[in-house]
Amino acid sequence: MNTQLKTLMLAFVGIPIMTHIVALVLLTLFDLINSICNGMNDEFNSPEKSFLLCGVLLLGGLMMFVEGAVWGKRCSNSALNTPLRYCLMLLPALLLLIIWIVIISSAHQNYSYNTYADFLFLAFPWWGVNLYFLISGWAWGMLIIPICSQILFTLGYYIAQHRNIFPDNAQRGQ
């Protein structure tokens, strides 16, 4: 299979699937912590909830970075990694930003439910994450999570290809 086609499959299928898995685990953890605190009658107020959400987002970003680094080091031939490959891996993030700009511009900066519903259906690989954030009411998650996961995965992939972040003798326990 052609290298560019493999890269597009990774960018449009692989990274969104990995992002959905990471988001499912971390958002479940977030809801579990929230329900435990509510069960102890220790209601989260807004700053605490925002702090916890930022921690979950940072942990998710770190996980996507590590996934990209592992994928870049172990699962690909470094001779095939050209700058075009990294650009193709960032293509879904660029398309998502273009879709966002077009929808918000055509809605005359009206941030209503219909605007986000249009965004949900046009951002095809991210339907699961976007549906969760559409239902939860945090619409910025529909934009932040896919773009940041795409960028951090590609950054981890790039750094793993160009830096020796995994020593060769680390696999043998030396």
pTM of the model: 0.81
Cα 15–chain centre separation: 7
pLDDT band at 174 (very low <50, low <70, confident <90, very high): very low
The highest-confidence range among 13-22, 83-92, 104-113, 156-165, by mean pLDDT, is 13-22
**Rounded CA gap, 163 and 53, in Å?**
31
pLDDT of residue 121: 76
Question: Which DSSP helix (H) or strand (E) runs through 8?
Answer: helix 3-9
- AA identity, residue 9: M
pLDDT of residue 64: 94
Domain residue limits, the chain: 3-166
Q: Which residue has the higher pLDDT, 3 or 144?
A: 144
